[in-house]
Structure 1
């Protein structure tokens, strides 16, 4: 038997107010005349007080990342080209924002040193060279993108991550204080990404003690926050940030499952954002995850969250076929969910009927 020898984040700092240490953390990584580039979620573009806390030195630059849509390979390539044209070389990229910013940061870091288009590297272990230094600072919790070895991108023919040992961050900074302004609905949708990670990991065929240890703790914290209380406080932000970290770790040695495999198809065709897309799908997956879906529905009711319905009505046969193609291309996810014989269980017809429910 061969065991996976997977790469983890090199350094982690956690704590309320840890963002204030960013200048000190970056100092050893700076190279002469090579700036640090700060990818900042466009949500903060008019937040002068927050922007003033970013430790800009010399030629350092803030680039606002538009997260209106899921990250695209064309966007990654364009940012890479802009940075190379303007600076030639850079010291590193610091991502400040949600999962999309985390993914863009990891992807552009890799493309600064790897030739071609980011679409060439959508898959498993295709990246050939380490990227430039990269650090992730999440301002919303749930995706686990801060610890994963993938950066999920929508390319010309598929939605698929750049999965490699070169993808994880060199440094992550986890400061729960940065999450205090997240809108209620967005916080829920993104937190449920973490909860769904855990359900899929803990019920999957890839499950092992490593994944189980992280997954159970992350799921317990999600349920403590969203199932057993309806209010929100600073401690909730702290617990959710650690649940996101642990949820991401739970799939590092395992995989996600049906909800993610199906939501990728929705995202590719309809542009559905990842968190809400997972919620739309998971809401209809009682046959695969009965206990998890029952708890999810309780959380939705308790926190008065609206899950969009009827989003696939009016789609063409070609749209459904493309969603099915994208979804069925995610072999490890289906294998984790349904086992080695997953293709015998998940036919195109069955998947079409599932998509028609959303």
Structure 2
């Protein structure tokens, strides 16, 4: 008898322009005694209007998180330990920002209730206890972090998520107004993260009708935004927010593929941001996604984006080995992309050649 994965989704979703204004009412039932809500906010918003709109009550605390680099297990542990030292326990953790901020919020929530280091939980279904209440509020669209069952972290030996049924948010607030005026390059890179999710999911060996339904819709939205539209407007923000959600749902019941597996190595060694890393890799993997890469290049050209080149030119052979080890550790991604015999196809030599082109 087949066993089908029992997929844990986000508990509650609110969508709409201005929905951020409902945050106080949404959080009220989840406040416990005098325990604070912790707002982890992308440091980009320090001193900006959005920070003044956060419904701080009582002992609540706003922490502006430095997400210049993607979250590390050490950063997660330091935040969770500091909160335990200051408050003992908290009512919840609310992530406001891009994918890195939301991943940080999910991880800190989990580590409030799980012993040890977040590095102990990098892998699949290692988390044993629910975290504290957590909500995600994206201010960039594309990563799908708002709906995923993972929180991607760079640890001492690998870049790998805390993939578990305890990881998804209890609540997400999807307010496209919050994504207005995002930096053009950053918006493109996170949008391409969504596009690449779709290409990898829709051409993968794990594909099923659940993933296909969400992936095809997200792909249509990305094509409209990045190929058909000539100027960015509110409609683009609305549509990209839904593409991000649908793209995240598409990979929830399947997997990503080659671009993500290779970019994990870049991120681990060089600190390359996830969206940019995916774009750098996507530029060179026609062999695996010929149609997707051709379309991606049209999107890059139409939107006037410069994809970085030659980022591996000063990398030593030992460092190449490190990237290769991190990348080959992403077994479900490679299997989705290349099938059960993926190790015969993507050899260390072939991966070394690919990294050499980036």
**What TM-score do you get using the length of structure 1 for normalisation?**
0.99
Q: Is the 8 A contact 1:227 1:295 kept in 2?
A: no
Q: Alpha-carbon deviations, 1:248-279, whole Å to 9, x = none?
A: 00001000000000000000000000000000
Counterpart for residue 137 of structure 1: 137
Deviation at 1:52, TM superposition (A): 1.5
Counterpart for residue 80 of structure 1: 80
Counterpart for residue 173 of structure 1: 173
**Residue 35 (structure 1) aligned with residue 33 (structure 2):** no
Matches for 1:30-179 after TM superposition, within 5 Å: 30-47=31-48, 49-179=49-179
Q: Alpha-carbon deviations, 1:292-326, whole Å to 9, x = none?
A: 00010001000100000000001100100000000
**Runs (5+) with no aligned partner, structure 1:** none
Q: Alpha-carbon deviations, 1:157-191, whole Å to 9, x = none?
A: 00000000000000000000000020001000000
**Residue 323 (structure 1) aligned with residue 323 (structure 2):** yes
Distance, in Å, in 1 between the alignment partners of 2:161 and 2:20 is 28
Secondary structure of 2:228 counterpart: coil
Q: How many residues align?
A: 357
**Runs (5+) with no aligned partner, structure 2:** none
Secondary structure of 2:62 counterpart: strand
Distance, in Å, in 2 between the alignment partners of 1:67 and 1:290 is 33
Matches for 1:1-358 after TM superposition, within 5 Å: 1-47=2-48, 49-358=49-358
Distance, in Å, in 2 between the alignment partners of 1:297 and 1:51 is 37
Distance, in Å, in 2 between the alignment partners of 1:310 and 1:252 is 32
Q: Is the 8 A contact 1:94 1:105 kept in 2?
A: yes
Distance, in Å, in 2 between the alignment partners of 1:53 and 1:18 is 12
Secondary structure of 1:107 counterpart: helix
Secondary structure of 1:62 counterpart: strand
Deviation at 1:286, TM superposition (A): 0.5
Distance, in Å, in 1 between the alignment partners of 2:50 and 2:228 is 33
Deviation at 1:227, TM superposition (A): 1.1
Q: Which range is displaced more, 226-235 or 346-355?
A: 226-235
Distance, in Å, in 1 between the alignment partners of 2:219 and 2:134 is 28
Deviation at 1:229, TM superposition (A): 2.1
Secondary structure of 2:238 counterpart: helix
Secondary structure of 2:357 counterpart: coil
Distance, in Å, in 2 between the alignment partners of 1:314 and 1:21 is 50
Deviation at 1:228, TM superposition (A): 1.3
Distance, in Å, in 2 between the alignment partners of 1:155 and 1:51 is 30
Q: Is the 8 A contact 1:191 1:222 kept in 2?
A: yes
Distance, in Å, in 2 between the alignment partners of 1:119 and 1:288 is 32
Distance, in Å, in 2 between the alignment partners of 1:13 and 1:50 is 18
Q: Is the 8 A contact 1:121 1:127 kept in 2?
A: yes
Distance, in Å, in 2 between the alignment partners of 1:132 and 1:93 is 7
Distance, in Å, in 2 between the alignment partners of 1:154 and 1:214 is 28
Q: Alpha-carbon deviations, 1:63-115, whole Å to 9, x = none?
A: 01101111000000000010000010100000000000010000000000000
| 4+ runs deviating over 3 angstroms | none
Secondary structure of 2:181 counterpart: coil
Distance, in Å, in 1 between the alignment partners of 2:351 and 2:47 is 43
Q: Is the 8 A contact 1:69 1:273 kept in 2?
A: yes
Distance, in Å, in 2 between the alignment partners of 1:209 and 1:50 is 39
